[in-house]
Amino acid sequence: MSILQALLLLLLKEKFKNKSHANLRLRPNVCRLWKGMVIIMQNKLSLLISCIIVLLLFTSCSKQYNTSNTYIPYQDYQYTYNNQGSFSDIAESEDGYYFLSGFYLYYADKTTMNPVILCNKPNCLHSDETDPEKITSCNACFPGIRSGGSVSYFDGNVYILERDSSDKSGTAYQLIKLSKDGTKRKTVLHFKYTPSSLAIHRGKVYVAGRVYDENGTSIYGVSEYDLSKTASQKPVTIFEGKIPDGNIQDLICYGQNIYFREFAMNSEITTVRIQHYNLNTKKSACIMQEKGNSFPAHIAFHHDHIQYSYTTLDYTTGEVTQTHNYMCELDGSKAKEIFSTDNYQTLYSDGKYIYLDDVKWSPFSKPADKLSLIVADSDGNAIASTPTGSYSKTSSQIICGSAEHLFLKNQTDTTYQILYANKDKFETGKIDFHLMFEMELDKMTPGHKIDN
């Protein structure tokens, strides 16, 4: 008998202790009815207690995440690994880095920075395998990933986005959950469309995508999935785009906020908007948008604020004629202009340092021998720098990385490279890049048809 049941019976006894036993004997039907009511009440009470226990157990099993409006490592989206216009292909764990090169997943320990392919199968040839039947048997091989790939680290697990091999249309994708050593795989989400951007943040997965209706009209938006639910769950739509032929890129989460770039371009007008979704209020708002021929550029986060640029474009020549840099609150309010930069510099931040990277691909860029990357303080004052003219004009990218390391991805005529620099050396005035990883381009995506 439970404590609550005992208390109930005690109350009943107290209530009727002054009743005459003789009186009860004179009414046997009433007595039998009363005993039946007590039994029913006991059964209902047992059911109620059981329900409460189940609810308590369910609540204790549902993991609670920090809801503060700042960055929380390893439970938040890793914004310092955002790859502008594409997916993040490097992710940080407590002890090292996971990264994709072609079809393959690698891991590098922070102390050694020596990468190894994430496969422990004996006799596996990994990227050197030439037998089409054996290529996909490598634990580190993900032949269904998109160009560049998408890798995330969240709450002790690695997540890979790849094409759903069971879908014959080729447009459906799935999110794969891996153990840290890569030996265990599980499909946790299915997408019936091709995601354009993805972010894992505080137990949820945010995905941008675009589909077409029967009239050929594009429908695009951002959906929210819950990692604690089933793979076939119905998502919650948190944003629906309204711009004709619009699309979304660069989903970035920070604190209790989600940001994404909404854009559309045709022969008459270019639309670029930075949308903000508040996880507390469940409301979205445009916090930056085009102003004539001026457009908001890539956003960064510094000391729990947003840093961003507006660039003014000459439509006749295609040249950027002005750049203004701003800082604002996380909701887009209280914007104020900050330090100035060159028109062809991209502004990044890891929360401590600011990075000013010279654009290489434009016909209006500086000469190769003048191109550089600058590390600056919060006021834009240079701390360290390095020449960057020797890197690819179109296939090099700065990744702000961790508290310890800055990354630079580069591609030569024959190889793909990842370089790193130790941030504790910035005070010397130099950014000293070291080669961490290099792979021949033809081995990244094996030259064999993979029917998966």
The H helix count followed by the E strand count for the chain is 4, 29
**pLDDT surpassing 60 at residue 176:** yes
**pLDDT surpassing 60 at residue 410:** yes
Secondary structure (3-state) at 11: helix
Domain boundaries, the chain: 1-14+30-55, 79-444
Please name which of 151, 169, 186 lies closest in space to residue 418, comparing C-alpha atoms: 151
DSSP type of residue 86: S
**pLDDT surpassing 50 at residue 372:** yes
Residue 269 backbone dihedrals phi, psi, to 5 degrees? -150, 150
Q: How many CA atoms lie within 13 A of 105 on its CB side?
A: 34
Single-letter code of the amino acid located at 324:
H
The alpha carbon of residue 79 and the mean position of all alpha carbons in its chain are separated, in whole angstroms, by: 8
**pLDDT surpassing 50 at residue 10:** no
Structure tokens at 108: 């590098």
Helix axes 28-61, 3-16, angle to 10 degrees: 150
Region 298-306: mean pLDDT is: 96
Stated pTM of the model: 0.84
Please name which of 332, 297, 327 lies closest in space to residue 312, comparing C-alpha atoms: 297
Question: Which pLDDT value is given to residue 42?
Answer: 58
Question: Which pLDDT value is given to residue 40?
Answer: 52
Structure tokens at 419: 């370089």
Predicted confidence band at 54 (pLDDT cuts at 50, 70, 90)? very low
**pLDDT surpassing 70 at residue 105:** yes
**324-370 residue pLDDT tens:** 999 999 999 999 999 999 999 999 999 999 999 999 999 999 999 99
Predicted confidence band at 181 (pLDDT cuts at 50, 70, 90)? very high
Predicted confidence band at 41 (pLDDT cuts at 50, 70, 90)? low
Region 292-317: mean pLDDT is: 95
**194-249 residue pLDDT tens:** 999 999 999 999 999 998 877 877 799 999 999 999 998 999 999 999 998 899 99
* Separation of alpha carbons 318 and 309, rounded Å: 18
CATH code reported for the domain at 79-444: 2.130.10.10
**pLDDT surpassing 60 at residue 450:** no
Question: Which pLDDT value is given to residue 14?
Answer: 46
Query: Which has the higher per-residue pLDDT, 18 or 410?
Result: 410
Over pLDDT 90: what percentage of the chain? 67
290, 271 in Cβ contact below 8 A? yes
